[in-house]
Amino acid sequence: MSNTMLFTNLSQRLTQHEALIGILGLGYVGLPLMLRFSEVGYRVLGFDIDPAKTDKLNAGESYIEHIRAESIAGALTQGFQATTDFSRARDCDALILCVPTPLNKYREPDLSFVIATTEAIVPNLRPGQVVSLESTTWPGTTDEELRPRLESTGLTVGEDLFLVFSPEREDPGNPQFTTRTIPKVLGGVTSACTAVGEALYGQVIDQVVTLSSTRAAEMTKLLENIHRAVNIGLVNELKIVCDRMDIDIHEVIRAAATKPFGFTPYYPGPGLGGHCIPIDPFYLTWKAREYGLSTRFIELAGEVNTNMPKWVVSKVVDALNDRGKAVKGARILILGIAYKKNVDDRRESPSMELMELLQKRGAVISYSDPHVPSFVPTRKHDFDLESVPLTPESLAATDCVLLATDHDRFDYELIKTHAPLIIDTRGRYREPAPHIVKA
């Protein structure tokens, strides 16, 4: 089949919903994307290296709180299957990579998941497929890392095979935006790649925003999250200044936000969490060094945000000390271990670093989180704990309650009434009280 026919045939299969869509990585990004493709009538094949996940999905079960089992069951009726067999990638017309891109211990990009997934599909590539990378990464990754591996098969990107970068923009637990309604940024290696990418995503996303290159698309994703990281770093630094001046930073932000132009509110916290904001800025700082550049602004914000858990712990220590208690042996209850409110996602959550720092100081740690009933080990943290129900007795039995993630399901009046000491890192309590310390 000629290159033109490959392009036309694939585009038609995509636009007519006849294509088989392969989603590689069935987590917080891959699973919602799978559901959206299934919803509009595509057959979807989901790949994951964890057989426990694929078994659950094939049984119609969900392992992510905000994704209902009924949605998985509905996808199964539409032909969805989950598998650990990457040789089945040959059957797919589109292969979408939704795998993690963490940092290593030196805060350098770790592309091991992207590379391993790419190398797993390379032996099973064929003419007439499109490969899309959704994992956040440094500008040049798609061109420099994926393209050579795909073309090692003898297939030419832009002619036999099509390659795009289209970063995920999921916001777990946010009911205002869905996979369908969040505009999709897209850049292809060639114009033909971009056109195929539009045919792929245009069927499931309301607005596809095309860029001139994969590098521009990669940089766009980084800019989005660097913008947030820098502004959060700013308010975190101002929080420390306001604390020393005995000013409530949350009151100041609420007041500034009444200005109808020129100000966007960002809110301080105990540190950055999630799979993007704590990580993505360092992808650019690492890549910039290759060009002899120093991204001092980004690195300063990263330094401020990274140090926030230590600052919060110092506030806990001081508050206990003021009440004649040492942190060693103190019973400290952490409220919320997800990285943000109303979800069960613990990726890079500052709560877990707070737990570790306090435990190292000798505190007796427990936690309460209605979205995380038991602590499942992560790559960095492991605690043999289960969520403590909040009762007058369990609160009164603590020396300190540390509000780290302000889930709406917490009974804040109950906590205020019965906890002897509250360290509030989220500004949830507006009215001052002798036993509430802002951090």
- Our CA dihedral for 137, 182, 49, 145, rounded to 10 degrees, sits at -30
Chosen CATH of 307-438 out of 3.40.50.720, 3.40.190.10, 3.30.1780.10, 3.40.50.410: 3.40.50.720
The candidate with the shortest Cα–Cα distance to 408, out of 305, 333, 338, 308, is 338
**Pairing between strand 184-188 and 331-335?**
unpaired
- CA dist 242 and 247 (Å) reads 5
Catalytic residues: 276
Average pLDDT by stretches of 10, the chain with 439 residues: 85 96 95 96 96 96 91 95 97 97 84 96 97 96 97 96 95 83 97 97 96 98 94 96 96 97 95 80 89 91 93 97 97 96 91 96 97 86 91 97 97 98 97 95
The alpha carbon torsion through 344, 349, 353, 359 (nearest 10 deg) reads -10
Look at residue 276 in the predicted model and tell me its pLDDT: 75
DSSP reduced 3-state for 298: helix
The two domains 3-212 and 307-438 share their CATH topology (first three levels equal)? yes
pLDDT at res. 1: 65
Alpha-carbon distance of 226 to 283, in angstroms, equals 10
Position 154 scores a pLDDT of 95
Topology, domain 3-212: Rossmann fold (3.40.50)
Long-range contacts of 238-244 (CB under 8 A, 24+ apart): 238/268, 239/268, 240/311, 243/438, 243/439
Task: Provide the pLDDT for residue 273.
Answer: 83
Mapped onto helix, strand or coil, the DSSP state of residue 131 is strand
- The residue extents of the domains of the chain are 3-212, 307-438
In angstroms, how far is CA 435 from the centroid of its own chain?
34
Phi, psi of 290 (to 5 degrees): -60, -25
